[in-house]
Amino acid sequence: MRSDLMKKGIEKAPHRSLFKAMGYTQTEIDRPIIGVVNSANEIIPGHIHLDKIAEGVKAGIRLAGGTPVEFNTIGVCDGIAMNHAGMRYSLASRELIADSVEIMAMAHPFDALVMIPNCDKIIPGMMMAALRLNIPAIVISGGPMLAGHVGGKPVDLITVFEGVGALKAGQISLGELEELEDDACPGCGSCAGMFTANSMNCLVEALGFGLPGNGTIPAVTAARVRLAKEAGMRIMDLLAKDIKPRDIATMAAFENAIAVDMALGCSTNTVLHVPAIANEAGIRLDLGVFNKISARTPHLCSLRPGGAHFLEDLDSAGGVQAVMKELSRRELIDPAPITVTGKPVGENLKGVRVLRPEVIRPLENPYHDKGGIAVLYGNIAPEGAVVKQSAVAPEMLTRKGRARVFESESDAANAILDGLIVPGDVVVIRYEGPKGGPGMQEMLTPTAAIIGRGLGLDVALITDGRFSGGTTGAAIGHISPEAAVGGPIALIEEGDEILVDIPNKKLDLLVDDAVLAKRRQAWKPHEPRVKTGCLARYARLVTSGSRGAVLLNE
């Protein structure tokens, strides 16, 4: 066993003594030692209850003959970090989480790992570490939040963000906004729609790293605790069979996950995180793969923020496994990849069926013929830009508009909320990419303000930053190369005409090449916003959003 490095032989008597100082018995030391990576904290609603999930995991490990050893990672709540300087740290935390898990598992050679994330960057950070370490590992998330209810209607966190814009537009009262604030998030769990956290938890399941139900079983249910116990037991089976992360994370498995991504209409952040995870497996996922799979995969589920259904609805409809079963009818899912059940995908899907066809539509009656995400290219985005096309109104799929240029998210958000953006505008937010932000801030406040002010059918937004999974509308992010390295988005001027053509995957600045060449000669890099600390290091090392914003290793 790998843990023998720290516990076997006469020379390791001091090491065993330190274990015994913590109360471990010799019997516990003799058993396989399983690291339990817990991201519980008291600042993220999706993580506030992870101590209970960890208890279940540890019980399962003990039931199957192992010894659990728990340690923790950091975690950022993107909702609470939104629209202030804290959001710059969110994406950067992904790399710190991956590094911290690697450090802990190398300094203390565990035999296997059970990883307990639930939100945004924590999930891919742990996955990246698992593939880097390549020891048996399984992911068990904390599960999604239930929807809230106001006036008999289901609501969620995005309803509150959009409520701010609605209040500014005079469409709701302060009292109505306060009611939303009180009731939209009724308890623990990852926010209730197909936002980034739930997108990633569903894709972890589709990729084969989470047990069936990992992505959708609600946080507050006993079924979630039972799944945690099962995950603890299952890791011992993976250890016995020597099934490692890179055995699971094959190209075919990633293609399965991307197909599910398209069918569900997941967050655009998946186009950052899935390539970053694949990179740790030694697989280069070009952005073109997303368009290729999107072209053949219909959009089957209309989940918040683009639709009316919540994660609890998807769970009652059969969850991720039912989506995969439906896709498999057209051979859009490869049945061969092995999963943490110890079985291939095809065996997991035996007996699975769609329980609510109004939530998971049949292939013959999809919401859209193409998948939920599209990658656009053009003279603004030579390396690509990403849009959640399933959340774009038909009126906005093709649009020419006037550029309204802002050098930061906060300036743009203030302009929108103050009524300075009008129908026909294309809001341009730049110098918010991985290097320029630094940290590639999410843009939920301005996009929610556009929707809240009733401009969703009239105004587009483009940025080298990124969007919350809760964003809806014609919001195009990850524009690469970013402004900070002289990408073409840096050359846009106020009043320029911009073409957004999502069906044809185009994003173009309608300005003569000669004019752009003159602008490029005059362009000068901005002074870095952050010059010290971890963000300064991050800005020096981070790659383009088109590469998943991973860090350079050389």
Strand order in the sheet with 67-72: 67-72, 33-38, 112-116, 137-139
Phi-psi region of 129 (alpha: psi -120 to 50; beta: other; left: phi over 0): alpha
On the 0-12 / 13-18 / 19+ scale of CB atoms within 10 A, 120 is buried
Contact predicate 508/466, CB 8 Å: no
**Which strands form 475-480's sheet, in the order they lie side by side?**
374-376, 384-387, 475-480, 460-463, 425-429, 398-406, 497-501, 506-509
Task: Assess whether pLDDT exceeds 70 at residue 32.
Answer: yes
β-bridge pairing 137-139 and 112-116: parallel
**At 472, is the pLDDT very low, low, confident or very high (cuts 50, 70, 90)?**
confident
Q: What share of the chain is helix, strand, coil (3-state, %, to 5)?
A: 45, 15, 40
Res 554 pLDDT > 70: no
For 201-223, the pLDDT digits (tens) are 999 999 999 999 999 999 999 99
DSSP assignment of 347-378 equals: HHTTT---S-TTTS--TTS-SBSS-S-EEEBS
Give the E-state strand segments of 283-437 in sequence order.
374-376, 384-387, 398-406, 425-429
* Helix (DSSP H) and strand (DSSP E) numbers for the chain: 21, 14
Query: How would you class 454 by CB atoms within 10 Å of its CB: exposed for 0-12, middle for 13-18, buried for 19 or more?
Result: middle
What pLDDT digit, counting tens, does each position of 494-535 carry? 999 999 999 999 999 999 999 999 999 999 999 999 999 999
Catalytic residue chosen out of the listed positions 267, 468, 480, 544:
468
Q: Name the 3-class secondary structure at 464.
A: coil
Write the DSSP symbol of residue 214. T
Helix (H) or strand (E) holding 124: helix 122-133
Residue 68's pLDDT band (cuts 50, 70, 90):
very high
Q: Which of the four pLDDT bands, split at 50, 70 and 90, describes residue 12?
A: very high
pLDDT 10s digits, 424-447:
999 999 999 999 999 999 988 899
pLDDT at 351 over 90: yes
The two tokens of residue 16 are: 């065993």
Among 180, 50, 178, CA closest to 116: 50
CA triple 360-363-364, angle to 5 deg:
120
Rounded to an integer, the average pLDDT of 318-341 is: 98
Mean pLDDT taken over the chain:
97
Query: What share of the chain has pLDDT > 90, as a percent?
Result: 96
* φ and ψ of 261, to 5 deg: -50, -50
Of 48-52, 367-371, 397-401, 442-446, the one with minimum mean pLDDT is: 442-446
Confidence of residue 471 (pLDDT cuts 50, 70, 90): confident
* Side chain identity at residue 106, one-letter code: M
Strands 112-116 and 33-38, bridge-based pairing: parallel
Q: Which residues pair with 116 in a beta bridge?
A: 38
The question of whether 408 is a catalytic residue gets the answer: no
Query: Once rounded to an integer, what is the mean pLDDT over residues 461-472?
Result: 91
